[in-house]
Amino acid sequence: MSELAGKTVLVTGGGSGVGAAMALAFANAGARVSISGRSETRLQMVADNHESITSVVADVTDEQSVMDMFATCGPTEIVIANAGMSDSTSFQKTEIASWQQLIDVNLTGVFLTLREGLKQIPEQSGRLIAIASTASLKGYPYVAPYAAAKHGVIGLVRSLALELAKTNTTVNAICPGFLDTEMTDRSVANIMDKTGKTEQQARVALAAHNPQGRLISPDEVAETALWLSREGARSVNGQAITLSGGEI
């Protein structure tokens, strides 16, 4: 029997991509998984894939919504702050509304999720995991607000990890490179629109950031989250684990 059997898990942004992959991976390992997001339809499509997955509609940028989410889910041993969004534009053309939205979703959303999640961890014995990005550790052109928010996530994770170092709860970030998900599909469309490249050329351009020359699979992120949640990773704390083929 998996050592994760019976564990309670919450994954924000669980209606697609990496969030859905993690939800299924934990459910297949025997955990009881709650997924959250803003689209009830998309959440239910994921939940329909496994009897151990339940869903709750929530907005991670809204404090009360996050509090209500955890009130619904109850005690949670593994909290994964995965919800995020990206956008691409030049720095000079970035409007304040776009900046604020990216900060709200990618940084404040992680803060609220981990803060409220910590209150739900039984006897402070659990795992807090933030899904960050290689943009947490380096810059990329045309995504300054996104990179700024993701850099902030690493600062938050490292600081909280030290606060909790004397407890049985660890705090870590997973930092994948460009992923083979819908979010990357939007990046591909943006490249095509602005450069005239074909879809294949745009995907190759993104994959070229990875020395292995490929996009990262959501399953690779899920496997890393599973590992961090096991007893064997109990001394891994305050880390930004990169999945990028050697890019970082």
Dig out the tokens for 18 from the structure: 């990496």
For 133, other C-beta atoms within 10 Å of its C-beta total 30
Nearest to 12 by CA among 99, 100, 124, 105: 105
Active-site positions?
A: 146
Instruction: Characterize the bridge pairing of strands 53-57 and 8-12.
Output: unpaired
d(CA 23, CA 80): 10
Q: Is residue 31 a contact partner of residue 7, using CB atoms and an 8 Å limit?
A: yes
CA atoms within 13 A on the CB side of 173: 29
Residues forming beta bridges with residue 173, ordered by sequence position:
130, 240
Burial class (CB in 10 A: 0-12, 13-18, 19+), 93: exposed
Please name the amino acid found at residue 5.
A
